[in-house]
Amino acid sequence: MAKPEKTAKRPYHHGDLRAALLTAAEAELIDKGADAFSLRGTAKRAGVSHAAPAHHFRDSNALLDALAAAGFSRLTAAMRDEQAQAGPDKAAQMAAAGVGYVRFALANPELLQLMFGTARRGDDPELRRNSEAAFSMMVNGVGAMRGRDALRGEAGWRDVAACWSMVHGYAQLAIAGKMAFATGLDFEQQRGLIEDLMRRALPVDAVRD
């Protein structure tokens, strides 16, 4: 009796391995946290061999840097999305950026922690570029209200610090379940509060028509 022919094992092909690894890495991060994160676990989630991530990432830290970079890109997109739906005046645009920031943070708490963790020091070019782009949303918003480069004078960078500290601090309080009288509200109810807090972060004399 003839032995059945063995089916030749086809080489694994992934349409976009890097994107699949980033998606799997985010799931691994959410499930295990940054401390227990592993390339092997990510590869398993992506359905590839444990050696496959090496095609794009030299180690787990490089993959986490790439994930953080993608997070900053999504943060910028969330702020821009809110601005696209806001009024055209400068204060409304600045307030909308704050709403987008908090909306992203609440939807992605583990990713936010990774993005702003002390281990992500911005040595990766893409991470540095994307984090600066997100930061520029705050800088440019304050600059538009002041009518000049926000970082060229002390008053301007103090305003940037006030806005960023407010929106990031609010997001962290909400994630931690603190200040529940505000952060415990439905997000649509929080929207007006966040907009008001963003306006309160800037002095009235900072606004230029």
Q: What is the pLDDT of residues 118-169, one digit of tens each?
A: 766 657 899 999 999 999 999 999 999 888 788 888 988 999 999 999 999 9
Q: What is the pTM of this model?
A: 0.87
pLDDT at 169: 97
Mean local confidence (pLDDT), 56-74 = 93
The radius of gyration of the chain from alpha carbons, rounded to an integer in Å, stands at: 21
CA 2, chain centre distance (Å) = 60
CA 33, chain centre distance (Å) = 16
d(CA 34, CA 25): 10
Check residues 29 and 148 and name the one with the higher pLDDT.
Answer: 29
Number of H helices and E strands in the chain, helices first, is 9, 0
Contact criterion met (CB below 8 Å) for 53 and 64: no
Contact criterion met (CB below 8 Å) for 113 and 134: no
